[in-house]
Amino acid sequence: MAAASASSVDSPRISTLILQRKTLAIGLAIIVVITLLAVLAPLIAPYAPGKLSIVNRLKPPSATWFFGTDEFGRDIFSRTIYAGQLSLLVGAAATALAATVGITLGLVAGFFRKADGIVSRIIDAMMAFPDILLAIALVAALGPSLATVIVALGVVYAPRLARVVRASTLVIRELPYVEAARALGVPTWRIMTRHVLRNLVSPILVQATFIFAYAMLAEAGLSFLGVGVSPEIPTWGTMIAAGRQYVGQADWMTIFPGLAIILTVLSLQLVGDGLRDLLDPRLRKDL
């Protein structure tokens, strides 16, 4: 990251800084493992995720089926790591969308006094809705599909980033070097991107990590409620939804995808907290 290298001229290497922070290191490690499992699912999975085997339905976890099988005899372990692909994709895409929309809105609101009134009110209004309800409404309005879920979650989480960016922009806009840049004829858009946005890399990164976690959780929630991606597509949310009916006989159907969600969200939160500590100079004790 360019911003990190800029500040690390005289400070310890970035890898050292990360390893010094246990939460950040653990979180990152878990995320890396989960991502690898998901990406390499075709190589790792012992069975195809959709392979039916009626004779082996609802088998408990064993050496043959690490996480057991579901009501159609499909291997839960294979399905869980395949589902990780989609769950992570939805989280990442929603975060990217939220970041694009949120950063743009935040910069505009922070920079242009006239736009600020309108943009800030819209942001406030959107933040007043509970996340999940707004997402459900959006999915209902747009029709459920993978793309709609991503768009809905992106829209729901954009205001969080917009707020952070707006607040920081208001501060940075008044700094002497921004005024100096203006006095030397630097155009506004260039000040916004080069001088303001570059300074916001760390708060945006931290916030984006949290949004990633929220978005994955929300996707699981939407799928569980049946308003997310279609039930045939394995995501952790749809797997839990499917396992709901069998929770008395085959709790492994819900436990393992549930664990996957918990682990992923937890590790993302650890990374977010760790990044915040790492990137906030006031919380850094090693400098």
Partner 1 sequence: MAMSTPNAGNHPDALADDIVLRADNLRTHFIMGARAAKSVDGVTLTVRRGQTLAVVGESGSGKSVTSLSIMRLLAHPGRIVGGRLLYRMRDGGVVDLATLSDKRMRAIRGKEIAMIFQEPMTSLNPLYTVGDQIMEMIRLHEPVDRHEARTRARRMLELVEIPAPDKRLDQYPHEMSGGMRQRVMIALALACNPALLIADEPTTALDVTIQAQILDLMRRLQREIGMSILFVTHNLGVVAEIAHEVAVMYAGRVVEQAPVHDLFARPRHPYTKGLLACIPDAKRDRADDGTRKMLNPIPGSVPSVLALPAGCAFAPRCPLAEPHCETAPPELLNASPEHLTRCWRHELL
Tell me how far apart the alpha carbons of residues 142 and 14 are, in angstroms, rounded to a whole number: 43
Cα–Cα distances (Å) from 231 to 29, 146, 225, in that order, read: 31, 11, 10
Q: Helix count (H) and strand count (E) of the chain? A: 13, 0
Nearer residue to partner 1 within complex by CB, 43 or 287? 287
Positive or negative, the CA dihedral 241, 243, 245, 247 is negative
Q: Does 183 bind partner 1 (CB under 8 A)?
A: yes
Contacts of 33 (CB under 8 A, 6+ apart): none
Per-residue tokens: 109: 């609101």
Tell me how far apart the alpha carbons of residues 5 and 37 are, in angstroms, rounded to a whole number: 30
CB of 119 to partner 1, least distance (A): 17
Among 130, 185, 248, 281, binds partner 1 (CB under 8 A): 185
Nearer residue to partner 1 within complex by CB, 113 or 285? 113
Q: Does 184 bind partner 1 (CB under 8 A)?
A: yes
CB of 153 to partner 1, least distance (A): 31
Tell me how far apart the alpha carbons of residues 239 and 257 are, in angstroms, rounded to a whole number: 7
Contacts of 229 (CB under 8 A, 6+ apart): 86, 90, 144, 145, 146, 149, 219, 223, 235, 237, 238
Q: Does 170 bind partner 1 (CB under 8 A)?
A: no
CB of 167 to partner 1, least distance (A): 18
Give the closest residue to 233 by CA, choosing from 138, 107, 144, 137: 144
Contacts of 234 (CB under 8 A, 6+ apart): 49, 79, 82, 83, 86
- Cβ–Cβ under 8 Å, residues 193 and 181: no
CB of 189 to partner 1, least distance (A): 11
Q: Does 9 bind partner 1 (CB under 8 A)?
A: yes
Tell me how far apart the alpha carbons of residues 148 and 143 are, in angstroms, rounded to a whole number: 7
Q: How many residues bind partner 1 (CB under 8 A)?
A: 21
Q: Does 19 bind partner 1 (CB under 8 A)?
A: no
Q: Does 186 bind partner 1 (CB under 8 A)?
A: yes
Residue span 68-107 as binding mask against partner 1, x where in contact by CB under 8 A, dash where not = ----------------------------------------
Residue span 120-159 as binding mask against partner 1, x where in contact by CB under 8 A, dash where not = ----------------------------------------
Among 126, 182, 258, 273, binds partner 1 (CB under 8 A): 182
Give the closest residue to 160 by CA, choosing from 201, 90, 96, 106: 106
Nearer residue to partner 1 within complex by CB, 63 or 287? 287
Q: Does 14 bind partner 1 (CB under 8 A)?
A: no
Q: Does 284 bind partner 1 (CB under 8 A)?
A: no
Q: Does 195 bind partner 1 (CB under 8 A)?
A: yes
Rule CB under 8 A: which residues touch partner 1?
A: 3, 6, 9, 113, 175-177, 179-187, 190, 194-195, 198-199
